[in-house]
Structure 1
Amino acid sequence: MTDNPKSVRGPMHIDATPLMVTCDVERLVHDNVGELLDLLMGEFLDDFTEIVNGEADREYAFETLQARLVDRLSTKVALTGPQAMRVAGRMAELARPLAARSAHTAAVVMRTQQRKGAAA
């Protein structure tokens, strides 16, 4: 694992909906929410208070604060080699039927459009 402060160690749970493969990164979100609250109550309190109290151009101040906070929060989940292999395998397993269904749908749409073009 890298010592990159923008990565969080933790499980990544892979599942699927009827249309998509999902990655549950609860640990990343949990750590980010904790760090976000710490930053808003500390280093960024004045900036946040100005936005809340309407003391600054809200849109610009919000975007600026958002960019600064995003720059400080974790953006990656660090996985060991075996964890990454399990995640990749699970994603491939769940994605295979979705990809096949998507390809089939695209082919049907293309054939339909071609028939409409030929009939016109």
Structure 2
Amino acid sequence: MNIEVFRSYCMAKKGVTEEFPFDEDTLVFKVMGKMFALSSLRRLPAQANLKCDPDRALELREEYDGTIIPGYHMSKIHWNTLLLERVPPKLTTELIDHSYDLVVAKFTKKLKQALDSLE
């Protein structure tokens, strides 16, 4: 998956915005203001960081050794870095969904209601 497809998939999710809060190179995707994905626009090969359940994160790192690694500049427990062009696209979309769902699951009732009210 290339970065354009990754971006399009993230942006199609409900309540998602994109911004550059760290620098002009790091694109961050947030759902209702909470980060669930980020990617460097200059780093090659194309990579993305996604939040992940800690046990699943370890399993993925073992199964996709060198292709899914501990989160670059992130918590190594809760974030993975994917080499986008080497991870199967279906798995990448599943992991984007997983990251998004983990973040949404931690929302307050008020924030969840705000998300649910979006068209």
Q: Could you tell me the TM-score, scaled by structure 2's length? A: 0.25
Say which structure is richer in helix: 1
Which structure has the greater CA radius of gyration? 1
The structure in which a higher percent of residues are strand is 2
